A and B are shown apart, each in its own frame.
Chain A
Amino acid sequence: MRTFLAAAAALLVATSALAHHGAASIYDMGKETTIKATVTEYVWTNPHVELGIAPSGGATTELLLELGSPPNIRNRGWSSRTVKAGDVVTVTFHPGLRGAKIGVVIKMVTADGKELHA
């Protein structure tokens, strides 16, 4: 059962990442980075929800991450109020290619321990 759930979770992650338009041409889909950072902005918008973070703990966006489209991530437990500027989160993402300060979120753990997949 655990194996099945792990496989299902892996499929969820793989398909959600692939669903992003242009993902493979702007992100290193073979690399995962996990960091603890402060949320600087969280924008519930199309085509993809935007999450700005500052690993330094500051208030200015240092890394701009994208999530799925609002309906898709809503199905995975996200809402427009999941996080707000000032929250501290731990985010795992595929980083931008060529050193671009962007990424596509794989999962996020909120300060109270809630884990959400994008």
Chain B
Amino acid sequence: MIRHLLALSAAGALLAAAGGCSKPAAAPAAAAPAHPNFSGSWVRPLGDRETGGMPAIKDIPLTPWAAAKLKAERPAGGDNQDFANTTDPSLKYADPNGYPRISQHPMRFKLIQTDDYVYQLWEYNNNWRQIALNVPQDPDPALTWYGNAVGKWDGDTLIVDSVGYKDSTWLDSRGLPHTTDLHLVERIHKAGANLVFDLTFEDKGAFTKPWTAQMIYKPSPDGTMTENIYTISDELRFRERFLNQKVNIPIRR
């Protein structure tokens, strides 16, 4: 309502100026925010932690290459699990999760929105990404853990286009693979108090056609971020202590 009033007020001022009205125009009203502000702390609701908003594997149009790669992976949980000999790069090497896997943890993230960038700061592993606003996508970006993301507003929705992902990450904890051709389009918008990420995945090497996922986050009233940096020494310590595995470097106590 306020936005409509402000728009009418601005339109009235313009009409007055255009018509050469002798009455001086009122001082311009403060500009209404052009876009919603997504800044704040967000967290996954309890419940769907196993897939984190990703569809069932049977509903993802895998290429034969992707199906074979997924079958060969050994995640830490699920039907194909083999924790002791896992191929999960985030456990085996403590690699960064990559995107969007990092957003599937039941931990907080913060969005910090400025005029030029939106920063997404994850509690998990203290990782972050930047979304540059109103700039063209890089036609040949460097390959990185969190890709090259650019965004633009479409009304109240932030549309984020990202490419340039290293192919060593998994898209989720099940081992869902992708290639360096991965192209993600996200439509980020509010739904009531919640923040919704509608994702479209395109990757001709891994998927026979585009497919979608929806990740929903609720506001986190407690915005304090807990340090949660996960390293290879942490993983080796865990394996030595809990699995009685021999590790090849001295474990720090």
Contact = CB atoms under 8 A, between A and B. Distances in A.
Interface of B: 46-47, 49-50, 76-77, 81-84, 86, 91, 106-108, 123-124, 222, 225-231, 234-235, 237-238, 241-244
Given A15-B47, A19-B106, A21-B83, A100 B244 contact: yes
Contacts, number: 68
B229 A46 contact: yes
User: Top 10 nearest A-B pairs by Cβ distance?
Assistant: A22-B83, A21-B76, A71-B226, A46-B234, A46-B230, A25-B83, A22-B76, A71-B107, A71-B228, A71-B123
A64 B242 contact: yes
Nearest to A27: B242
Contacts of A34: none
Nearest to B224: A74
Interface in A26-68: 26, 45-48, 50, 64, 66
Contacts of A46: 228-231, 234
Contacts of A25: 81-84
Contacts of B123: 71
11 contacts: A18-B77, A19-B106, A21-B76, A22-B243, A25-B84, A45-B237, A47-B230, A50-B241, A70-B227, A71-B124, A71-B225
A69 B47 CA distance: 17
